[in-house]
Structure 1
Protein backbone atom coordinates (compact mmCIF):
# COMPACT_ATOMS: atom_id res chain seq x y z
CA UNK A 1 0.00 0.00 0.00
CA UNK A 2 2.78 2.41 0.92
CA UNK A 3 4.66 1.58 -2.29
CA UNK A 4 1.52 2.19 -4.34
CA UNK A 5 0.94 5.58 -2.69
CA UNK A 6 4.57 6.54 -3.25
CA UNK A 7 4.31 5.59 -6.93
CA UNK A 8 1.14 7.64 -7.34
CA UNK A 9 2.75 10.65 -5.62
CA UNK A 10 5.82 10.46 -7.87
CA UNK A 11 3.62 10.21 -10.94
CA UNK A 12 1.65 13.27 -9.86
CA UNK A 13 4.83 15.28 -9.31
CA UNK A 14 6.22 14.27 -12.69
CA UNK A 15 2.98 15.06 -14.55
CA UNK A 16 3.60 18.36 -16.39
CA UNK A 17 -0.13 19.05 -16.72
CA UNK A 18 -0.72 18.67 -12.98
CA UNK A 19 2.34 20.79 -12.18
CA UNK A 20 1.05 23.52 -14.47
CA UNK A 21 -2.34 23.45 -12.73
CA UNK A 22 -0.76 23.77 -9.27
CA UNK A 23 1.71 26.49 -10.27
CA UNK A 24 -0.75 29.45 -10.03
CA UNK A 25 -1.74 28.41 -6.51
CA UNK A 26 1.80 27.70 -5.29
CA UNK A 27 2.32 31.09 -3.55
CA UNK A 28 -0.98 30.74 -1.69
CA UNK A 29 -0.10 27.18 -0.65
CA UNK A 30 3.22 28.36 0.76
CA UNK A 31 1.58 31.20 2.68
CA UNK A 32 -1.19 28.99 4.07
CA UNK A 33 1.45 26.39 4.98
CA UNK A 34 2.81 28.78 7.63
CA UNK A 35 -0.49 28.74 9.51
CA UNK A 36 -1.08 25.00 9.00
CA UNK A 37 2.38 24.01 10.21
CA UNK A 38 2.17 26.39 13.16
CA UNK A 39 -1.16 24.88 14.28
CA UNK A 40 0.14 21.34 13.77
CA UNK A 41 3.19 22.08 15.86
CA UNK A 42 1.12 23.56 18.69
CA UNK A 43 -1.09 20.46 18.67
CA UNK A 44 1.92 18.13 18.56
CA UNK A 45 3.59 19.95 21.44
CA UNK A 46 0.39 19.71 23.49
CA UNK A 47 0.07 15.97 22.76
CA UNK A 48 3.74 15.43 23.62
CA UNK A 49 3.27 17.18 26.95
CA UNK A 50 0.27 14.97 27.69
CA UNK A 51 2.36 11.83 27.02
CA UNK A 52 5.24 13.08 29.19
CA UNK A 53 2.84 13.93 32.03
CA UNK A 54 1.32 10.43 31.87
CA UNK A 55 4.75 8.79 31.94
CA UNK A 56 5.81 10.97 34.87
CA UNK A 57 2.64 10.24 36.82
CA UNK A 58 2.98 6.48 36.35
CA UNK A 59 6.62 6.55 37.49
CA UNK A 60 6.60 9.13 40.28
CA UNK A 61 2.98 9.98 41.04
CA UNK A 62 2.10 13.65 41.51
CA UNK A 63 5.76 14.68 41.45
CA UNK A 64 6.07 13.18 37.98
CA UNK A 65 3.83 15.93 36.62
CA UNK A 66 6.81 18.30 36.98
CA UNK A 67 8.97 16.34 34.52
CA UNK A 68 7.79 18.50 31.62
CA UNK A 69 8.90 21.62 33.48
CA UNK A 70 12.37 20.27 34.23
CA UNK A 71 12.72 19.08 30.63
CA UNK A 72 11.98 22.61 29.43
CA UNK A 73 13.87 24.49 32.15
CA UNK A 74 16.15 26.29 29.63
CA UNK A 75 13.09 27.59 27.80
CA UNK A 76 11.47 28.74 31.05
CA UNK A 77 14.66 30.57 32.05
CA UNK A 78 14.88 32.33 28.69
CA UNK A 79 11.19 33.22 28.89
CA UNK A 80 11.59 34.97 32.24
CA UNK A 81 14.89 36.63 31.36
CA UNK A 82 13.31 38.14 28.24
CA UNK A 83 10.64 39.71 30.44
CA UNK A 84 13.31 41.04 32.78
CA UNK A 85 15.51 42.47 30.01
CA UNK A 86 12.71 44.65 28.67
CA UNK A 87 11.88 45.90 32.16
CA UNK A 88 15.55 46.85 32.59
CA UNK A 89 15.49 48.72 29.27
CA UNK A 90 12.59 50.80 30.56
CA UNK A 91 14.33 51.56 33.85
CA UNK A 92 14.86 55.24 32.81
CA UNK A 93 11.06 55.56 32.60
CA UNK A 94 10.46 54.40 36.17
CA UNK A 95 10.30 50.62 35.69
CA UNK A 96 11.88 48.59 38.48
CA UNK A 97 12.08 44.82 39.00
CA UNK A 98 10.95 43.75 42.46
CA UNK A 99 11.18 39.95 42.10
CA UNK A 100 12.43 37.31 39.66
CA UNK A 101 11.60 33.63 40.13
CA UNK A 102 13.07 30.97 37.81
CA UNK A 103 12.96 27.60 39.56
CA UNK A 104 10.57 27.83 42.51
CA UNK A 105 7.34 25.97 41.83
CA UNK A 106 4.31 27.09 43.81
CA UNK A 107 0.49 27.30 43.42
CA UNK A 108 -0.48 29.70 40.64
CA UNK A 109 -1.92 33.00 41.86
CA UNK A 110 -5.22 33.61 40.10
CA UNK A 111 -5.32 37.33 40.75
CA UNK A 112 -2.85 39.15 38.49
CA UNK A 113 -2.01 42.80 39.19
CA UNK A 114 -0.17 44.70 36.53
CA UNK A 115 3.54 44.12 36.64
CA UNK A 116 3.43 40.36 37.27
CA UNK A 117 4.38 38.17 34.31
CA UNK A 118 3.95 34.47 35.02
CA UNK A 119 4.61 31.16 33.34
CA UNK A 120 2.12 28.51 34.47
CA UNK A 121 1.14 24.88 33.96
CA UNK A 122 -2.29 23.26 33.53
CA UNK A 123 -1.89 21.78 37.03
CA UNK A 124 -2.29 25.35 38.44
CA UNK A 125 1.42 25.64 39.26
CA UNK A 126 3.49 28.73 38.72
CA UNK A 127 6.88 27.93 37.19
CA UNK A 128 8.39 31.39 37.13
CA UNK A 129 7.53 35.03 37.35
CA UNK A 130 8.90 38.52 36.95
CA UNK A 131 7.32 41.19 39.15
CA UNK A 132 7.97 44.87 38.58
CA UNK A 133 6.59 48.30 39.36
CA UNK A 134 6.18 51.26 37.02
CA UNK A 135 4.43 54.64 36.99
CA UNK A 136 0.68 54.12 36.32
CA UNK A 137 -1.36 55.92 33.70
CA UNK A 138 1.48 56.86 31.31
CA UNK A 139 1.73 55.95 27.63
CA UNK A 140 5.28 54.71 28.06
CA UNK A 141 4.08 52.42 30.85
CA UNK A 142 1.60 50.71 28.52
CA UNK A 143 4.32 50.39 25.86
CA UNK A 144 6.69 48.85 28.40
CA UNK A 145 4.02 46.43 29.61
CA UNK A 146 3.30 45.32 26.06
CA UNK A 147 6.93 44.89 25.02
CA UNK A 148 7.77 43.01 28.19
CA UNK A 149 4.78 40.70 27.67
CA UNK A 150 5.75 39.71 24.10
CA UNK A 151 9.51 39.74 24.77
CA UNK A 152 9.73 35.91 25.14
CA UNK A 153 8.32 35.50 21.62
CA UNK A 154 10.87 37.92 20.13
CA UNK A 155 13.78 36.63 22.19
CA UNK A 156 12.83 33.01 21.57
CA UNK A 157 12.77 33.48 17.80
CA UNK A 158 16.20 35.11 17.96
CA UNK A 159 17.53 32.22 20.05
CA UNK A 160 16.11 29.66 17.62
CA UNK A 161 17.78 31.38 14.66
CA UNK A 162 21.11 31.36 16.51
CA UNK A 163 20.82 27.73 17.67
CA UNK A 164 19.83 26.57 14.18
CA UNK A 165 23.08 28.07 12.88
CA UNK A 166 25.00 26.43 15.75
CA UNK A 167 23.47 23.04 14.93
CA UNK A 168 23.74 23.02 11.14
CA UNK A 169 26.07 25.82 10.04
CA UNK A 170 23.28 27.24 7.87
CA UNK A 171 21.12 30.28 8.42
CA UNK A 172 17.50 29.37 9.04
CA UNK A 173 16.39 31.19 5.86
CA UNK A 174 18.67 28.99 3.72
CA UNK A 175 16.60 26.08 2.36
CA UNK A 176 19.06 23.18 2.07
CA UNK A 177 18.63 19.45 1.58
CA UNK A 178 21.81 18.76 3.58
CA UNK A 179 21.35 18.57 7.33
CA UNK A 180 24.80 19.98 8.21
CA UNK A 181 27.16 22.24 6.29
CA UNK A 182 30.19 20.26 5.00
CA UNK A 183 32.98 20.44 7.57
CA UNK A 184 30.67 21.61 10.37
CA UNK A 185 31.19 19.79 13.72
CA UNK A 186 28.60 17.04 14.17
CA UNK A 187 28.54 17.22 17.99
CA UNK A 188 26.46 20.42 17.89
CA UNK A 189 23.50 18.17 17.08
CA UNK A 190 23.86 16.60 20.53
CA UNK A 191 22.54 19.66 22.38
CA UNK A 192 21.25 22.31 19.95
CA UNK A 193 18.04 20.45 18.90
CA UNK A 194 17.14 19.92 22.58
CA UNK A 195 17.60 23.62 23.35
CA UNK A 196 15.55 24.57 20.28
CA UNK A 197 12.69 22.32 21.41
CA UNK A 198 12.69 23.67 24.97
CA UNK A 199 12.73 27.27 23.73
CA UNK A 200 9.92 26.72 21.22
CA UNK A 201 7.86 24.97 23.92
CA UNK A 202 8.09 28.05 26.18
CA UNK A 203 8.41 31.02 23.85
CA UNK A 204 4.67 31.52 23.31
CA UNK A 205 3.38 34.22 25.70
CA UNK A 206 0.96 33.03 28.35
CA UNK A 207 -2.60 34.29 28.65
CA UNK A 208 -1.43 36.74 31.32
CA UNK A 209 1.27 37.99 28.97
CA UNK A 210 -1.24 38.57 26.16
CA UNK A 211 -3.46 40.55 28.50
CA UNK A 212 -0.49 42.72 29.42
CA UNK A 213 0.26 43.33 25.73
CA UNK A 214 -3.32 44.00 24.58
CA UNK A 215 -3.05 47.81 24.47
CA UNK A 216 0.26 47.83 22.62
CA UNK A 217 -0.80 45.15 20.13
CA UNK A 218 -4.15 46.85 19.47
CA UNK A 219 -2.40 50.15 18.81
CA UNK A 220 0.19 48.53 16.52
CA UNK A 221 -2.49 46.69 14.54
CA UNK A 222 -4.45 49.92 14.06
CA UNK A 223 -1.34 51.81 12.95
CA UNK A 224 -0.36 48.98 10.59
CA UNK A 225 -3.85 48.92 9.08
CA UNK A 226 -3.84 52.70 8.57
CA UNK A 227 -0.34 52.57 7.05
CA UNK A 228 -1.25 49.76 4.63
CA UNK A 229 -4.47 51.51 3.60
CA UNK A 230 -2.58 54.77 3.01
CA UNK A 231 0.15 53.08 0.97
CA UNK A 232 -2.44 51.24 -1.09
CA UNK A 233 -4.53 54.38 -1.66
CA UNK A 234 -1.48 56.37 -2.81
CA UNK A 235 -0.37 53.44 -5.05
CA UNK A 236 2.95 53.14 -3.23
CA UNK A 237 2.00 49.59 -2.35
CA UNK A 238 0.52 47.58 -5.20
CA UNK A 239 -0.97 44.13 -4.60
CA UNK A 240 0.40 42.44 -7.68
CA UNK A 241 2.18 39.24 -8.64
CA UNK A 242 5.59 40.57 -7.57
CA UNK A 243 4.36 41.28 -4.03
CA UNK A 244 2.69 37.88 -3.84
CA UNK A 245 5.87 36.11 -4.92
CA UNK A 246 7.89 38.09 -2.38
CA UNK A 247 5.56 37.13 0.47
CA UNK A 248 5.59 33.50 -0.73
CA UNK A 249 9.41 33.49 -0.71
CA UNK A 250 9.42 34.57 2.95
CA UNK A 251 6.71 32.00 3.72
CA UNK A 252 8.84 29.25 2.13
CA UNK A 253 11.65 29.82 4.63
CA UNK A 254 9.21 29.95 7.55
CA UNK A 255 7.62 26.72 6.32
CA UNK A 256 11.03 25.09 6.21
CA UNK A 257 11.85 26.11 9.79
CA UNK A 258 8.44 25.03 11.13
CA UNK A 259 8.66 21.72 9.28
CA UNK A 260 12.08 20.99 10.79
CA UNK A 261 10.71 21.72 14.29
CA UNK A 262 7.62 19.61 13.62
CA UNK A 263 9.76 16.65 12.56
CA UNK A 264 11.78 16.92 15.78
CA UNK A 265 8.58 17.09 17.83
CA UNK A 266 7.12 14.06 16.06
CA UNK A 267 10.29 12.01 16.61
CA UNK A 268 10.21 12.72 20.36
CA UNK A 269 6.45 12.16 20.44
CA UNK A 270 6.85 8.68 18.92
CA UNK A 271 9.46 7.77 21.55
CA UNK A 272 7.27 9.14 24.37
CA UNK A 273 4.22 7.30 23.04
CA UNK A 274 6.13 4.02 22.89
CA UNK A 275 7.35 4.48 26.46
CA UNK A 276 3.82 5.32 27.57
CA UNK A 277 2.51 2.10 26.04
CA UNK A 278 5.29 0.02 27.62
CA UNK A 279 4.55 1.43 31.06
Structure 2
Protein backbone atom coordinates (compact mmCIF):
# COMPACT_ATOMS: atom_id res chain seq x y z
CA UNK A 1 0.00 0.00 0.00
CA UNK A 2 1.45 3.38 -1.05
CA UNK A 3 1.92 6.25 1.37
CA UNK A 4 -0.84 8.23 -0.37
CA UNK A 5 -3.26 5.34 0.02
CA UNK A 6 -2.37 5.01 3.70
CA UNK A 7 -2.88 8.72 4.21
CA UNK A 8 -6.29 8.63 2.53
CA UNK A 9 -7.27 5.64 4.68
CA UNK A 10 -6.32 7.55 7.82
CA UNK A 11 -8.22 10.65 6.74
CA UNK A 12 -11.35 8.78 5.60
CA UNK A 13 -13.05 8.61 9.05
CA UNK A 14 -12.64 12.36 9.44
CA UNK A 15 -13.48 13.33 5.85
CA UNK A 16 -17.12 14.35 6.50
CA UNK A 17 -16.02 16.63 9.33
CA UNK A 18 -13.27 18.14 7.18
CA UNK A 19 -15.74 18.85 4.38
CA UNK A 20 -18.12 20.55 6.82
CA UNK A 21 -15.25 22.52 8.40
CA UNK A 22 -14.28 23.62 4.89
CA UNK A 23 -17.51 25.63 4.68
CA UNK A 24 -16.49 27.77 7.65
CA UNK A 25 -12.87 28.10 6.48
CA UNK A 26 -13.81 29.15 2.96
CA UNK A 27 -16.44 31.56 4.27
CA UNK A 28 -13.79 33.14 6.52
CA UNK A 29 -11.36 33.45 3.60
CA UNK A 30 -14.12 34.94 1.47
CA UNK A 31 -14.79 37.60 4.10
CA UNK A 32 -11.07 38.48 4.07
CA UNK A 33 -10.83 38.73 0.27
CA UNK A 34 -14.06 40.74 0.03
CA UNK A 35 -12.80 43.19 2.69
CA UNK A 36 -9.50 43.49 0.81
CA UNK A 37 -11.34 44.17 -2.42
CA UNK A 38 -13.39 46.88 -0.78
CA UNK A 39 -10.25 48.57 0.61
CA UNK A 40 -8.73 48.69 -2.85
CA UNK A 41 -11.92 50.05 -4.42
CA UNK A 42 -12.05 52.70 -1.67
CA UNK A 43 -8.45 53.64 -2.39
CA UNK A 44 -9.11 53.92 -6.12
CA UNK A 45 -12.12 56.10 -5.38
CA UNK A 46 -10.12 58.33 -3.03
CA UNK A 47 -7.37 58.88 -5.58
CA UNK A 48 -9.90 59.70 -8.30
CA UNK A 49 -12.61 61.63 -6.43
CA UNK A 50 -11.29 62.42 -2.96
CA UNK A 51 -13.65 61.89 -0.03
CA UNK A 52 -16.57 61.20 -2.36
CA UNK A 53 -14.69 58.19 -3.69
CA UNK A 54 -15.79 56.01 -0.78
CA UNK A 55 -19.25 55.93 -2.35
CA UNK A 56 -17.93 53.99 -5.36
CA UNK A 57 -18.19 50.68 -3.51
CA UNK A 58 -21.83 51.35 -2.68
CA UNK A 59 -22.75 52.37 -6.22
CA UNK A 60 -20.97 49.31 -7.62
CA UNK A 61 -23.13 47.17 -5.34
CA UNK A 62 -26.40 48.88 -6.30
CA UNK A 63 -27.89 45.71 -7.90
CA UNK A 64 -27.07 43.71 -4.77
CA UNK A 65 -28.56 46.37 -2.50
CA UNK A 66 -31.78 46.42 -4.50
CA UNK A 67 -32.02 42.61 -4.38
CA UNK A 68 -31.38 42.79 -0.62
CA UNK A 69 -34.32 45.15 -0.09
CA UNK A 70 -36.61 43.39 -2.55
CA UNK A 71 -36.02 40.13 -0.68
CA UNK A 72 -37.25 41.80 2.50
CA UNK A 73 -40.28 43.19 0.67
CA UNK A 74 -41.13 39.85 -0.98
CA UNK A 75 -41.41 38.06 2.36
CA UNK A 76 -43.51 40.87 3.81
CA UNK A 77 -45.89 40.55 0.86
CA UNK A 78 -46.11 36.78 1.45
CA UNK A 79 -47.25 37.47 5.01
CA UNK A 80 -49.87 40.01 3.96
CA UNK A 81 -52.70 37.57 4.92
CA UNK A 82 -51.34 37.69 8.49
CA UNK A 83 -51.58 41.47 8.74
CA UNK A 84 -48.18 42.51 7.36
CA UNK A 85 -48.19 45.70 5.31
CA UNK A 86 -45.33 47.58 3.65
CA UNK A 87 -45.31 51.29 4.47
CA UNK A 88 -42.24 52.37 2.45
CA UNK A 89 -39.52 50.91 0.26
CA UNK A 90 -36.18 52.52 -0.61
CA UNK A 91 -34.24 50.31 -2.99
CA UNK A 92 -31.04 52.32 -3.04
CA UNK A 93 -30.16 55.50 -1.21
CA UNK A 94 -26.84 56.59 0.23
CA UNK A 95 -27.40 58.84 3.22
CA UNK A 96 -26.05 59.29 6.77
CA UNK A 97 -27.82 57.09 9.30
CA UNK A 98 -28.96 58.76 12.53
CA UNK A 99 -28.03 56.54 15.45
CA UNK A 100 -29.03 58.60 18.48
CA UNK A 101 -30.88 61.69 19.59
CA UNK A 102 -29.42 64.15 22.08
CA UNK A 103 -31.42 67.20 23.13
CA UNK A 104 -33.76 66.81 20.16
CA UNK A 105 -30.85 66.72 17.69
CA UNK A 106 -30.01 63.69 15.56
CA UNK A 107 -26.48 62.43 16.09
CA UNK A 108 -24.86 60.84 13.05
CA UNK A 109 -21.99 58.40 13.35
CA UNK A 110 -18.88 59.74 11.67
CA UNK A 111 -16.99 57.43 9.36
CA UNK A 112 -17.12 53.65 9.27
CA UNK A 113 -19.27 51.31 7.24
CA UNK A 114 -22.36 51.69 9.37
CA UNK A 115 -22.55 55.47 8.86
CA UNK A 116 -24.30 55.07 5.51
CA UNK A 117 -27.76 53.69 4.91
CA UNK A 118 -28.17 52.06 1.52
CA UNK A 119 -31.79 50.91 1.42
CA UNK A 120 -34.76 50.35 3.64
CA UNK A 121 -38.04 48.46 3.82
CA UNK A 122 -40.47 49.56 6.51
CA UNK A 123 -43.56 47.56 7.39
CA UNK A 124 -46.18 47.16 10.08
CA UNK A 125 -47.68 43.97 11.47
CA UNK A 126 -49.82 42.83 14.42
CA UNK A 127 -48.09 42.75 17.79
CA UNK A 128 -47.61 39.60 19.85
CA UNK A 129 -48.84 37.04 17.31
CA UNK A 130 -46.91 33.86 16.59
CA UNK A 131 -46.98 34.46 12.82
CA UNK A 132 -45.60 37.96 13.40
CA UNK A 133 -42.43 36.44 14.86
CA UNK A 134 -42.22 34.01 11.96
CA UNK A 135 -42.67 36.81 9.45
CA UNK A 136 -40.10 39.02 11.17
CA UNK A 137 -37.62 36.16 11.16
CA UNK A 138 -38.09 35.21 7.53
CA UNK A 139 -38.01 38.86 6.49
CA UNK A 140 -34.78 39.34 8.43
CA UNK A 141 -32.94 36.46 6.75
CA UNK A 142 -34.63 36.99 3.36
CA UNK A 143 -31.55 38.68 1.79
CA UNK A 144 -29.51 35.57 2.54
CA UNK A 145 -32.09 33.31 0.89
CA UNK A 146 -32.66 35.67 -2.02
CA UNK A 147 -28.95 36.20 -2.56
CA UNK A 148 -28.24 32.46 -2.64
CA UNK A 149 -31.09 31.89 -5.11
CA UNK A 150 -29.83 34.71 -7.36
CA UNK A 151 -26.26 33.43 -7.14
CA UNK A 152 -27.43 29.98 -8.26
CA UNK A 153 -29.33 31.55 -11.17
CA UNK A 154 -26.39 33.74 -12.24
CA UNK A 155 -24.02 30.78 -12.02
CA UNK A 156 -26.28 28.93 -14.45
CA UNK A 157 -26.43 32.00 -16.71
CA UNK A 158 -22.64 32.27 -16.70
CA UNK A 159 -21.68 28.61 -17.15
CA UNK A 160 -24.73 26.59 -18.15
CA UNK A 161 -24.28 24.37 -15.10
CA UNK A 162 -26.48 24.13 -12.04
CA UNK A 163 -24.73 25.07 -8.82
CA UNK A 164 -25.05 21.56 -7.38
CA UNK A 165 -23.50 20.00 -10.51
CA UNK A 166 -19.78 19.36 -10.46
CA UNK A 167 -18.72 20.42 -14.00
CA UNK A 168 -16.44 17.48 -14.83
CA UNK A 169 -15.93 15.93 -18.25
CA UNK A 170 -15.39 12.24 -18.96
CA UNK A 171 -11.68 12.63 -18.12
CA UNK A 172 -12.62 14.23 -14.75
CA UNK A 173 -11.36 17.66 -15.81
CA UNK A 174 -13.21 20.75 -14.62
CA UNK A 175 -15.03 22.55 -17.44
CA UNK A 176 -15.66 26.27 -17.02
CA UNK A 177 -18.57 26.34 -19.49
CA UNK A 178 -21.05 23.76 -20.64
CA UNK A 179 -20.29 22.69 -24.22
CA UNK A 180 -21.87 25.10 -26.77
CA UNK A 181 -22.77 27.56 -24.00
CA UNK A 182 -22.30 31.23 -25.12
CA UNK A 183 -19.07 32.70 -23.73
CA UNK A 184 -20.37 36.28 -23.63
CA UNK A 185 -22.36 35.59 -20.45
CA UNK A 186 -19.00 35.80 -18.64
CA UNK A 187 -18.84 39.51 -19.53
CA UNK A 188 -21.56 40.59 -17.07
CA UNK A 189 -22.40 37.59 -14.85
CA UNK A 190 -19.23 37.71 -12.68
CA UNK A 191 -19.91 41.35 -11.77
CA UNK A 192 -23.53 40.60 -10.86
CA UNK A 193 -22.41 37.61 -8.79
CA UNK A 194 -19.95 39.87 -6.97
CA UNK A 195 -22.51 42.54 -6.11
CA UNK A 196 -25.24 40.03 -5.17
CA UNK A 197 -22.97 38.10 -2.81
CA UNK A 198 -21.59 41.32 -1.32
CA UNK A 199 -25.07 42.27 -0.11
CA UNK A 200 -26.68 38.92 0.68
CA UNK A 201 -25.59 38.88 4.33
CA UNK A 202 -28.33 40.30 6.58
CA UNK A 203 -27.45 43.49 8.45
CA UNK A 204 -27.15 43.71 12.22
CA UNK A 205 -30.66 45.16 12.32
CA UNK A 206 -31.94 42.25 10.19
CA UNK A 207 -30.43 39.72 12.58
CA UNK A 208 -31.93 41.57 15.51
CA UNK A 209 -35.39 41.36 13.97
CA UNK A 210 -34.92 37.65 13.22
CA UNK A 211 -33.41 36.75 16.61
CA UNK A 212 -36.44 34.82 17.93
CA UNK A 213 -36.96 32.94 14.69
CA UNK A 214 -33.27 32.02 14.35
CA UNK A 215 -33.07 31.04 18.02
CA UNK A 216 -36.07 28.75 17.54
CA UNK A 217 -34.44 27.12 14.51
CA UNK A 218 -31.24 26.51 16.49
CA UNK A 219 -33.20 24.91 19.33
CA UNK A 220 -35.02 22.66 16.86
CA UNK A 221 -31.68 21.73 15.25
CA UNK A 222 -30.23 20.73 18.63
CA UNK A 223 -33.33 18.64 19.39
CA UNK A 224 -33.06 16.96 15.98
CA UNK A 225 -29.39 16.10 16.58
CA UNK A 226 -30.25 14.61 19.98
CA UNK A 227 -33.04 12.53 18.47
CA UNK A 228 -30.75 11.26 15.70
CA UNK A 229 -28.08 10.42 18.25
CA UNK A 230 -30.57 8.57 20.44
CA UNK A 231 -31.88 6.58 17.46
CA UNK A 232 -28.34 5.87 16.15
CA UNK A 233 -29.07 7.79 12.93
CA UNK A 234 -26.48 10.51 13.48
CA UNK A 235 -23.99 8.87 11.09
CA UNK A 236 -26.52 8.99 8.26
CA UNK A 237 -27.22 12.64 9.01
CA UNK A 238 -23.48 13.33 8.96
CA UNK A 239 -23.20 11.75 5.52
CA UNK A 240 -26.03 13.90 4.16
CA UNK A 241 -24.56 17.02 5.79
CA UNK A 242 -21.15 16.30 4.24
CA UNK A 243 -22.78 15.88 0.82
CA UNK A 244 -24.50 19.26 1.11
CA UNK A 245 -21.36 20.87 2.54
CA UNK A 246 -19.30 19.62 -0.42
CA UNK A 247 -21.56 21.56 -2.81
CA UNK A 248 -21.38 24.63 -0.58
CA UNK A 249 -17.58 24.32 -0.59
CA UNK A 250 -17.67 24.24 -4.38
CA UNK A 251 -19.81 27.39 -4.51
CA UNK A 252 -17.54 29.19 -2.04
CA UNK A 253 -14.47 28.19 -4.05
CA UNK A 254 -16.08 29.78 -7.12
CA UNK A 255 -16.69 32.99 -5.18
CA UNK A 256 -13.17 32.92 -3.79
CA UNK A 257 -11.77 32.54 -7.30
CA UNK A 258 -13.86 35.50 -8.50
CA UNK A 259 -12.64 37.58 -5.56
CA UNK A 260 -9.02 36.82 -6.39
CA UNK A 261 -9.63 37.78 -10.02
CA UNK A 262 -11.22 41.10 -9.05
CA UNK A 263 -8.47 41.67 -6.47
CA UNK A 264 -5.83 41.35 -9.18
CA UNK A 265 -7.72 43.81 -11.40
CA UNK A 266 -8.16 46.22 -8.48
CA UNK A 267 -4.47 45.94 -7.56
CA UNK A 268 -3.48 46.87 -11.11
CA UNK A 269 -5.83 49.87 -11.04
CA UNK A 270 -4.48 50.96 -7.63
CA UNK A 271 -0.94 51.06 -8.98
CA UNK A 272 -2.20 52.92 -12.07
CA UNK A 273 -3.97 55.70 -10.11
CA UNK A 274 -1.00 56.13 -7.74
CA UNK A 275 1.26 57.20 -10.60
State the TM-score bracket (shorter-chain normalisation): 0.7 to 0.9
Task: Check the 8 A contact 2:76/2:84 in 1, yes or no.
Answer: yes
> 2:85 aligned with 1:96, yes or no?
yes
Give the equivalent residue in structure 1 for 2:209: 212
- Can you list the C-alpha shifts for 1:57-105, whole angstroms capped at 9, x where unaligned? 1110121111001111110010000001111111122211111112222
- Can you list the C-alpha shifts for 1:127-161, whole angstroms capped at 9, x where unaligned? 11011111222222121111111000011111111
Give the equivalent residue in structure 2 for 1:257: 251
Could you tell me how far 1:254 is from its partner in structure 2? 1.1
Runs (4+) of structure 1 moved beyond 4 Å?
Answer: none
Query: Number of matched residues?
Result: 257
Give the equivalent residue in structure 1 for 2:104: none
Equivalent position to 2:116, from 119, 125, 131: 125
Structure 1 residues not aligned, in runs of 5+? 1-12, 112-120
- Can you list the C-alpha shifts for 1:15-49, whole angstroms capped at 9, x where unaligned? 33333333333222211111100111011111111
- Can you list the C-alpha shifts for 1:200-219, whole angstroms capped at 9, x where unaligned? 00000000000000011111
> 2:172 aligned with 1:178, yes or no?
no
Could you tell me how far 1:180 is from its partner in structure 2? 0.5
Give the equivalent residue in structure 2 for 1:228: 225
SS at match of 1:130: strand
Q: Decide whether aligned partners of structure 1 residues 109 and 138 sit closer, same or farther in structure 2, where only a CA change above 3 A counts.
A: farther
Equivalent position to 2:52, from 51, 63, 67: 63
The within-5 A match list for 1:1-279 is 15-110=4-99, 122=113, 124-176=115-167, 177-233=174-230, 235=231, 238-240=233-235, 242-278=236-272, 279=274
Aligned-pair RMSD on alpha carbons?
2.1
Q: Decide whether aligned partners of structure 1 residues 132 and 123 sit closer, same or farther in structure 2, where only a CA change above 3 A counts.
A: closer
Structure 2 residues not aligned, in runs of 5+? 101-111, 168-173
In 2, distance between residues paired with 1:72 and 1:200?
9
SS at match of 1:100: strand
Give the equivalent residue in structure 2 for 1:10: none
TM-score, normalised with respect to structure 2 = 0.87
TM-score, normalised with respect to structure 1 = 0.86
Task: Check the 8 A contact 1:52/1:272 in 2, yes or no.
Answer: yes
Task: Check the 8 A contact 1:109/1:126 in 2, yes or no.
Answer: no
